[in-house]
Amino acid sequence: MEKRKIVVALGGNAILSSDPSAQAQKDALKETAKHLVKLIQNGDEVIITHGNGPQVGNLLLQNIAADSEKNPAFPLDSLVAMTEGSIGYWLQNAMQNELNKLGIEKPVVSLVTQVIVDKNDPAFENLSKPIGPFYSEEEAKQQMAETNASFKEDAGRGWRKVVASPKPVAIKEIDSIATLVNAGNVVVATGGGGIPVLEDNGQLVGVEAVIDKDFASQKLANDLGADLFIVLTGVDYVYVNYNKPNQEKLEKVSIESLKEYIKEDQFAPGSMLPKVEAAIAFVENTDHGKAVITSLENLQALIESDSGTIIQK
Percent of the chain clearing pLDDT 70 (strictly above): 99
Phi and psi torsions of 275, nearest 5°: -65, -45
Reported CATH class of domain 5-117+167-311: alpha beta
Give the mean pLDDT of 27-31: 93
- Distance separating alpha carbons of residues 67 and 180, to the nearest angstrom: 38
pLDDT tens sequence across 184-226:
999 999 999 999 999 999 999 999 999 999 999 999 999 999 9
Q: Any alpha helices (H) in the chain, and if so which ranges?
A: 22-41, 53-66, 76-101, 137-146, 174-182, 213-223, 255-263, 272-284, 299-305
Taking all residues of the chain, what is their mean pLDDT, rounded to a whole number? Answer: 93
- Distance separating alpha carbons of residues 14 and 31, to the nearest angstrom: 8
- Distance separating alpha carbons of residues 108 and 129, to the nearest angstrom: 32
Q: Which of 119-133, 164-178, 182-196, 288-302 has the lowest mean pLDDT?
A: 119-133
Give the mean pLDDT of 15-35: 90
Per the annotation, the verdict on 12 as an active-site residue is yes
Per the annotation, the verdict on 63 as an active-site residue is no
Bridge partners of 129, per DSSP, are: 163
Model-level pTM?
0.93
Per the annotation, the verdict on 213 as an active-site residue is yes
Does the structure show a pLDDT above 90 at 275? yes
Q: Which residue has the higher pLDDT, 130 or 241?
A: 241
Q: Which of 206, 218, 179 is nearest to 116 (CA)?
A: 206
pLDDT tens sequence across 62-90:
998 898 999 999 999 999 999 999 999 99
Does the structure show a pLDDT above 70 at 129? yes
Q: Which of 274, 266, 256, 268 is nearest to 311 (CA)?
A: 256
Catalytic residue among 11, 51, 193, 213: 213
Q: Which of 33-47, 144-158, 192-206, 225-239 has the lowest mean pLDDT?
A: 144-158
Contact call for residues 282 and 313 (beta carbons, < 8 A): no
Catalytic residue among 5, 63, 88, 129: 129
Cα dist from 275 to 64, 124, 234, whole Å: 31, 22, 12
pLDDT tens sequence across 280-295:
999 999 999 999 999 9
Q: Which amino acid is at 135?
A: Y
**Taking the domains of the chain in order of start, what are their residue ranges?**
5-117+167-311, 128-163
Q: How confident is the model at residue 72, as a pLDDT?
A: 93
Does the structure show a pLDDT above 70 at 13? no
Q: Which of 45, 50, 16 is nearest to 216 (CA)?
A: 50
Q: How confident is the model at residue 262, as a pLDDT?
A: 96
pLDDT tens sequence across 231-271:
999 999 999 999 899 999 999 999 999 999 999 999 988 78
Cα dihedral 79, 184, 278, 285 sign: positive
Per the annotation, the verdict on 129 as an active-site residue is yes
Q: Which residue has the higher pLDDT, 52 or 115?
A: 115
Does residue 144 sit in helix, strand or coil? Answer: helix
Do strands 170-171 and 150-153 pair parallel, antiparallel, or not at all (unpaired)?
A: unpaired
Does residue 185 sit in helix, strand or coil? Answer: coil
Q: How confident is the model at residue 1, as a pLDDT?
A: 58
Burial class (CB in 10 A: 0-12, 13-18, 19+), 100: exposed
Burial class (CB in 10 A: 0-12, 13-18, 19+), 13: middle
Catalytic residue among 275, 289, 290, 308: 275
Does the structure show a pLDDT above 80 at 133? no
Provide the total of helices (H) and of strands (E) in the chain, helices listed first: 9, 17
Per the annotation, the verdict on 184 as an active-site residue is no
Give the mean pLDDT of 154-161: 82
Contact call for residues 50 and 84 (beta carbons, < 8 A): no
Give the mean pLDDT of 162-171: 95
